[in-house]
Chains A and B, each alone.
Chain A
Amino acid sequence: MSTSALKTDPNFHEAGRRFFRDFSPGDEFYEHLIEAHNGLSDEQSEALNARLILLLANHIGDLQVLREALQQARTAN
């Protein structure tokens, strides 16, 4: 995987914050993710996920990374 542009090692972090346990930043993200869907119908959640993917994709921008992510998401199924 040395040619991979997509980061797949743990990468959640926040500037200026210190996490004493390595699972904490990822768990925090996951909590936010689930919380964002709180109270939504399945259709609303699906739409939220779509918007979220588009926002994050634009933030990443690098098409090589995005192609790899799409491929990994598809093959892991």
Chain B
Amino acid sequence: MNPFSSNQNLPLILSESQYKIDSDLVTMYSTSIKCEPFPFTGFSSQYKNTIPPMAILTLSLRDLVSKLKLPHGTLHTGQEVEFINPANLNSVLSCTTTLLQNTVRKSIRVLIIKLSVEDENKIPILTGKTTLFTS
């Protein structure tokens, strides 16, 4: 798969991955952005194990980032995300990323990638769309 080729039939699935979000990963995320340590004291007891939604988005994109091998200097210019359901600590999540658009404008390649995350019971967790400008 070469995501940088213009000769593709779109949409094109770029990655399909499964991962478990454990407390170590969430702690790594919380530490890096210096937010309140997990679990959040502000959440009601029903949601005390809810993973921060942006942590799910960040961790869901890990596999894509590895696979794409984007050229250095690639710019992330836009992001959409819809949080549909909360995910709890130690959930096993599946993430599918799909290339929706691959066009070149004035020597800049524009990639639009959709991602969908669901849990082990096929319950949708989030969907999103990432726009990248690359050379």
Q: Are A and B interaction partners?
A: no
- B-to-A contact residues, CB < 8 Å: none
